[in-house]
Chains A and B, each alone.
Chain A
Amino acid sequence: MALSDPRGIYGVHSVTPYNRKTGEFYGILKVLNGSSLNVEGSLVELMGGSSKFPWAVETGELKVEMSLKISQFEDFLFELFLGKAPTQTSAEAAGNVSTLTSVVTGVLNASTGIASVSAKSGQSASLKFAKYVIKYVSATTVDVYAASDVDAARGTDWAYQTDLLKITASPLTVTASTATEIPGTGVEFTGGSGVIALVAGGVATFETRPINSGVSTVRIGGLANQTMPEFGAIVIAQKRSNGEMTELDCFRCLGSGMPIGFEKNAWANAEIKVKAFYDSAKDGVFDLRYVKATS
């Protein structure tokens, strides 16, 4: 019998994390730049006396670490590596305008200030992916500022008027129980029910989302959400042209932290360190399955 072809592992096809308790998959990672499993052992030497060479050598600790290099940012990654699963909102056919929130008292007031913000009827196509600030100008007028112009050209445009990111050409008048359009935003605010008397220094903020096919939001860093869950991970190498396929099933993994890159003209690329360790129920750290398909 002749020698077999040398066994090779070529590329990476996917990484599939799974819930260790339920066995369910979190999802699949396919936009990968690598997911190498490094099993690193140490050798412990017995040294002493006049010998410059070890008297004996034994194996030391083994460390199993997976370096997960990904260029996709699925919701489950935030749960596994940053401690909180995002909240998902289904498609918003008319976009969304958040509730007006006071930052400095003086603008938001159901009676003497701006009572609320909402999408202007028939202008949902102009709602942008934006964060706005409404700021006191005088007792009955305000200016509006926008954090970024990334989506400013959606529907009816707005443009910055000043270096302080003001988008209103003239201060907008607030009148009681009346809607005032914020030009170019698809949003209008409604004055309070009483005599309008805004307070100097008052600031309020709100966000808008364009018409969309789904939304994910997550707040990372909450004290109650700083524990990362253990998970299992199945790593699959690329299917070779000769039929070879290799699978690695790490039973018990833990990772902490995930970079979220915003680089100039480049896809965000995260390298996440994941430790694999002993699973007493399975009495092992990982399984490796190899097959050479013949058809």
Chain B
Amino acid sequence: MTNLKASLLALAATTALTAFAFPAQAEDSVFVPLFTYRTGPFAGSGIFIADGMHDYLTMLNERDGGIGGVKIAVEECETGYDTKKGLECYEAVKPKNPVMVNPWSTGITLPLIPRAAVDKIPILSMAYGLSASAQGDTFPWIFNPPDTYWDGFSQILKFIGGQEGGLDKLKGKKIGYIYLDAGFGREPLPLIEQLAKDYGFEAKLYPVAAAEMQNQSAQWLNVRRDRPDYMVMYGWGAMQPTAIKEAVKTNYPMDKFISIWWPSEDDARGAGDGAKGFKMLNWHGSTPDFPVIKDVQKYVVDAGKSQSPKEKVGTTLYNRGVYNSMLIAEAIRTAQQVTGKKVVTGEDVRRGLEDLNIDAARLKALGMEGFTGPIKLSCSDHNGHRPTFVQQWDGTKYVKVSDWIEPLSDKVKPLLQADAKAYAEKNAPWPARTEACDARS
């Protein structure tokens, strides 16, 4: 009997907390939810991003009192890189009028794309998500600066061409592509096919299933058999350190191993000395020696308001989070300027993102001189297609080893346009753009 009573009480207690309306947002603040993952198989990458994003916005609150005098209300929602939890986070934050959403997972971004226009919340999927969302005319509410995955691959190819003495020298070469067998890894495949045809190289594909991320010996055995001249990796989370370790194990020449912009220092460090020479794309600094990072350290890390260990501040993925938050803050500021309001809404920030223009002078004012390059978005270009550079692991840190590389826009842009058109057709009726263009660009 007591057992039954106890269990009934427990049942009653657990069902007592249902159907709560969530408290409305406090006035005079701008709500920015952060969809982060500090748990799960992708936490290895997600934790740094989360810390960087959180700390920059907190720094703005502490140092400047917010943006334009309005504080930023930052709230993290844990998604674990799971689409279902991500959607739950989205539904949970919607009543609080977020000004934008950063899903940090292509899997979560894809279901949100059609909802953005209906819910009037812009999505900033920085350098991930649906590449075609660069086309602002088809996707007025989605933004993915500074580069798409297609730009990234073309930049890697250009770098390889530079190593070989020209893109025409790629004829007959083998380029291996190892990728996470999920949306974001598969996205560049049409571009790779196209470029392989155009430049005459042979593309070898090595998919890695998400459940087999830590068991890549078969893929790297295949690499050993095929002996590609270069290896390109599109990975995330636990896939990256395993790939680097396996590459070292099979004695693949590390300086020919180039990854898209997602590895961190820890991913390369785990493989020991053999990982020296490993390269990756980047578009911002990966050290703490910039005024903006120093401010973050002073106002947030040293003041005990950060979850990040001190030695991780200023590393590649931490700075990536800082860059993302910088875009958020600048979008809010631009929205405030364009509308004249202090407490802006999602629709205002959409305009802010479209009118985003961060030039060299603004970068200097932000403390980001030398940290990254200028970026300008427009109504039709929601990406910017900015150049990136290649950085190389030297055993302790990443060092920039190339100049700024522009993407192969003449190859990438037609594919983006075609893909955007195909998306709109497949998801007909896809609403035509009705949002006005501020014609600032």
Whether chain B is bound by chain A comes out as no
